[in-house]
Each structure stands twice: as C-alpha cells, then as structure tokens.
Amino acid sequence: MPFRGGEQVAGAGSTSWRQATPLETTDAPLAGTGAHSFPGEGVPIDADVVIVAAGAWTGEVCRPLGVKLPVFPRRGQILHVTLEGIDTAWWPIVLPRIGPYLLGFPDSRVVIGATIEDVGFSPRVTMGGLGEVIEAGLQVAPGLLGATVAETRVGLRPVYAPGSALIGRLTSRVVVATGLNSYGLTAGPFTGRIAAVLALGEEPPIDLTPYAPAIA
C-alpha cells in the first residue's frame, strides 16, 4: 500500500486547504489536547502538530514563534516549447553537470530550465533570463531551434542557507520541511514522508542531523 502521509497524520478524508498565514502557538491546552493553533482565513485552526512546508515563505510563517530561519527564495525562469508531431513523452531527462536541464512531457512539450537568481521574492520573467535559458538550451539540444515557444514560467525555490535542506522538529509540536532548492520535485515525496513520521511521533527513516533547523 502506498504511504499516504496526509491520511496517516490527519485521517482519510479530513484534509482541507487554507490560505497560508503566520503560525501561532499557545502553551495552554486546547480542548485538552495541548495542541497548537494558527490562524487560517481569520479563523483559528487547532492542531496537535503542525507541519510547515511553506517553501521560501517558511521563515515568515514561523517568525511569530520567535525564531529566525535562514530560508530565502531563489528564482528560476523556465521555458516550455513544443515540437509539432513529435512524441516527447518518453524522452530521457537531460541533466548535465553544468548547464540547463531538459524534460520531455506529453503533447510534444519540452521544458528547458532554469535560471539561478538570488533576487528575493520577485516572480518575474525577464528578457535576460529567457535569453540565458534559450542560449543554454540550444547549446545542449540544437535541434530545438525550430521549436514553438508555448509558455514561460517562473518559480521561487526555497533555499536553506546553512545546508541542502531543512527537515526536523522546530518545537515539540512544529515540524518544518523545506529548503530543497531545485530538488523539490525529486526529494519532495520522501521529505513529505519524513515530515509525516515526525508528526506522528515516530523515528525518521534516516539521520536528520545534517538537516536540523539552525535557529537564529
């Protein structure tokens, strides 16, 4: 049976989505559970354990707890192109040691990315960024010269300044999981499993010492 952390932590069918807001805690038991609470859309939400996986915004979400987490955004501009009549769904991933990555998707789509820019919370697509992606992509795959530009995207990767990731308990009832940088899609599922295990009060499957929160 696949591991479904959300169901194991909260119970099947009990997950709901809320607008992200700063986290608050209380020392007083809530409904006799000793739970923490945090505001969501103006209505407090009570929880025994909170998993903060807010990406580049994790530091801001946790700031009301009196801690400063060195997590910052790193912008990545990405280009989507299409090759009419060519099945790219099963193309191999191209991931050079230095340079752009290329991913094939259904609908004859190829994704080329990405820039690495420390410019703060600025989710803008720029001429310079796109030029960099196009030039680097054509160096790796010159056959894309005639591809059709489908769309551009931009993401803000969460970067944890002291290390490669931030995974662990911030307090006895607050778990953080972020800072994966450009490896979020790759390492995200396993990181989610670790966060769920911690929330359940169980031992994680790996040593988390290298990823423990460095609280400023």
Q: Dihedrals φ, ψ of 203, to 5°?
A: -80, 135
CATH superfamily of 72-157: D-Amino Acid Oxidase, subunit A, domain 2 (3.30.9.10)
pTM: 0.79
3 state SS of 74: strand
Task: Return the sign of the alpha-carbon dihedral for residues 132, 140, 79, 73.
Answer: negative
Question: How many Cα atoms are found within 13 Å in the side-chain-facing hemisphere of 65?
Answer: 26
Domain borders along the chain are 5-70+161-211, 72-157
What letter does residue 117 receive in the DSSP assignment? B
Instruction: Give the rounded distance of the alpha carbon of 80 from its chain centre.
Output: 20
User: Spelled out in words, what is the top-level CATH class assigned to the domain 5-70+161-211?
Assistant: alpha beta
Beta bridge partners of 36: 47
Tell me: the pLDDT tens digits for 85-108? 999 999 999 988 888 899 999 999
Other Cβ atoms less than 10 A from the Cβ of 141: the count is 16
Q: What is the mean pLDDT of residues 198-215?
A: 91
Residue ranges of alpha helices (H) inside 16-93 are 58-62
Tell me: the pLDDT tens digits for 22-59? 666 555 444 434 444 555 556 677 778 889 999 999 99
From residue 116, how far is each of 73, 123, 133, 158, 183 by CA, in Å? Answer: 10, 12, 10, 12, 13
